[in-house]
Amino acid sequence: MADKSYIIVGAGVFGVSTAFHLIKKYPNADITIVDRDAFDQDTRVAASWDWNKVVRADYDDIVYCKMAIEAQDMFKTDNLWKPYFYQTGIYWMCRSDYAQEVVDNYKKLGRAADLKAVPIDEARKMYGGLFEDADYTGVKEVLVNKTS
């Protein structure tokens, strides 16, 4: 018989994360996850679902930035996740000061990372000119984070 029973409503990131942490803390618990949708791969395109496994910490909100950096730290060090975690980097076109706000958040949190807010002229030349002909209409700067 289970020590404790839990029903978690929602099989998104928070629901699955809650189940994961509960089972680590209470290995004999009975945990059930209930979700509103039946499996339908055609409607599942969010980053939190199974297609891409994106974990970014590039947020202009410092609270989200801090939480995501902590999550990345876990993925880099926990033996369960470490073999599957790759920092592929991002090249993100921003129409506002978003890129600089992300850079500022990393500094405020005292975190070193290979990231910067790049002017469009410089961004066009990066990666052998791969993004040279991209449409930069309305773009103010590009966030490049090689450690994302």
- The 10s digit of each residue's pLDDT in 35-61 is 876 666 666 655 555 556 677 899 999
Q: Which pLDDT belongs to residue 42? A: 63
Closest to 90 in 3D by CA, of 131, 121, 44? 131
Whether residue 137 is predicted with pLDDT greater than 90 in this model: the reply is: yes
Lowest mean pLDDT among 60-69, 78-87, 132-141: 78-87
The pTM score is: 0.72
Residue type, 57: A
22 and 46 assigned to the same domain: yes
125 and 59 assigned to the same domain: yes
Which residue did the predictor score with more confidence, 24 or 49? Answer: 24
Q: Could you tell me which residues come within 8 angstroms of residue 29 by beta carbon, excluding any fewer than 6 positions away? A: 2, 3, 4, 5, 6, 22, 23
Q: Which pLDDT belongs to residue 41? A: 63
Mean pLDDT of 91-119: 96
Range(s) of the domain holding residue 88: 54-148
108 and 138 assigned to the same domain: yes
Domain end among 12, 31, 52: 52
Domain count, the chain: 2
